[in-house]
Amino acid sequence: MATEQQVRQYLAYWFQLGKRLMTHNGRQALKVSSVIAGDRYSDEFEACWNLVRAPESGDCYIEGTTQTIRELLSSDWEINPCARCAMPVPTRSLGMPPSDCPCADLPFWPDSETPQPRSPVRTSDTLQKIRDRLSRSSH
């Protein structure tokens, strides 16, 4: 079962590659230009997440996919790395997997020359872990 955090990360990663969110059963497309703001998701991304979770938004899904966000939050789906590009993709917990990763229609992807999509990083926590690791290795 995919956790809410995994589904949020799935959306964030694909938004960073320029994918749009299809809302209202595919009748509207939304593009999020700012996904990360320092150590958290941006206000624009959070507003999009709230839209996705609102029942009046209808079925919402990433452009190029068929699984709705509501489906991904059910116990029938997991989020795993794509075998081709290592980006997060939905896979059924049971039964047949989906036919394509959203990367299938991105001619420039995978691209090992550019920075990979990422999650927000709390710099102070990361630096603390490095400091702790260095102090352990010096003893």
Q: DSSP letter string over 43-97?
A: HHHHHHHHHHHSGGG-S-EETT----HHHHTSTTEEEEE-TTT--EEEEESSSPP
User: Model's pTM, two decimal places?
Assistant: 0.70
Give the domain ranges of the chain.
4-138
- Which pLDDT score, from 0 to 100, does residue 124 have? 87
110: pLDDT strictly greater than 70: yes
The band of 1, judged by pLDDT with boundaries at 50, 70 and 90, is confident
For the beta carbon of residue 4, count every other beta carbon within 10 angstroms.
11
- Mean pLDDT for 10-16 is 96
Q: For residues 121 and 116, what is the distance between their CA atoms, to the nearest angstrom? A: 14
In 3D space, the residue among 124, 65, 108 whose CA is nearest the CA of residue 89 turns out to be: 65
- Which pLDDT score, from 0 to 100, does residue 13 have? 95
